Amino acid sequence: MPRKKKIQDQNDPTAIIARIALEEQAEKAESRNRQKRSREVALEQMRQTEREEAARKARFQAICDHLLGNHRVGVVPEKKRCALHKDYLSDKSVRIYCGKCRFDWRPGDKADQIVREDGNGRVVLPNPTRKSWREINQFFYSFENSADLTSRAFRIERVEPEDIDSEEARVLREQQVPAA
């Protein structure tokens, strides 16, 4: 013989408590979902802002003339002063850094691509300035006799213009040898 279904009283205290508990759980789940969606939207906006900032920075680096002053693009300033710094770092590496566009060149950089160290190894990136290590080094040394030459930080030793080839050759040799 089939059992009769027990009819629950809507005013039964246990039924009321169970209904309230279920509603609270549903509200908490909805709140978590809203927070998750909000976090995802905020992260996507942050990534979009980072991409836009990187593109803006690359555009500025592409048009930078690496000369000090607040002159318009394409206008030669009255007094040419170099905005480049050549740094000899404590790990015996060297770089040329533009104080205006914040780009740095390392030996071995080519006009179309640069190689940088990343947490996962070497990464090949596009060169927004379209200037190789050799070109920027020659530009830097064209200001060598100027009294307006900017300071060189972290200097260990002096590399003369004729040493540019050996400096670049050393870095290229190191890049050819696979990291063990």
**How does pLDDT run along the chain (180 residues), one tens digit per residue?**
567 666 667 778 888 888 889 999 999 999 999 999 999 999 999 999 999 999 999 999 999 988 888 887 778 788 888 888 888 878 778 889 998 999 999 988 999 999 888 888 888 999 999 999 999 988 888 875 444 444 444 333 445 555 555 666 666 666 665 554
Q: Are residues 50 and 134 in the same domain?
A: no
Residue 16 lies in a domain: yes
Residue 42 lies in a domain: yes
Q: Give the count of domains, the chain.
A: 2
Residue 1 lies in a domain: no
Give DSSP secondary structure letters for the chain. Answer: -PPPPPPPPTT-HHHHHHHHHHHHHHHHHHHHHHHHHHHHHHHHHHHHHHHHHHHHHHHHHHH---BSS-PPTTPPPSS--B-EEEEE-TTS-EEEEETTT--EE-TT--SSEEEEEETTEEEEEE-TT---HHHHHHHHHTTTT-TTPPP--S--S---GGGHHHHHHHHHHHHHSPP-
Q: Which domain holds residue 116?
A: 84-176
Residue 131 lies in a domain: yes
Q: Are residues 92 and 139 in the same domain?
A: yes
Q: What is the model's pLDDT at position 150?
A: 44
Q: What is the model's pLDDT at position 45?
A: 97
Residue 52 lies in a domain: yes
Q: What is the model's pLDDT at position 55?
A: 94
Residue 155 lies in a domain: yes
The reply to whether the predicted model has a pTM over 0.85 is no
Q: Are residues 47 and 101 in the same domain?
A: no
Residue 47 lies in a domain: yes
Residue 102 lies in a domain: yes
Q: What is the model's pLDDT at position 56?
A: 95
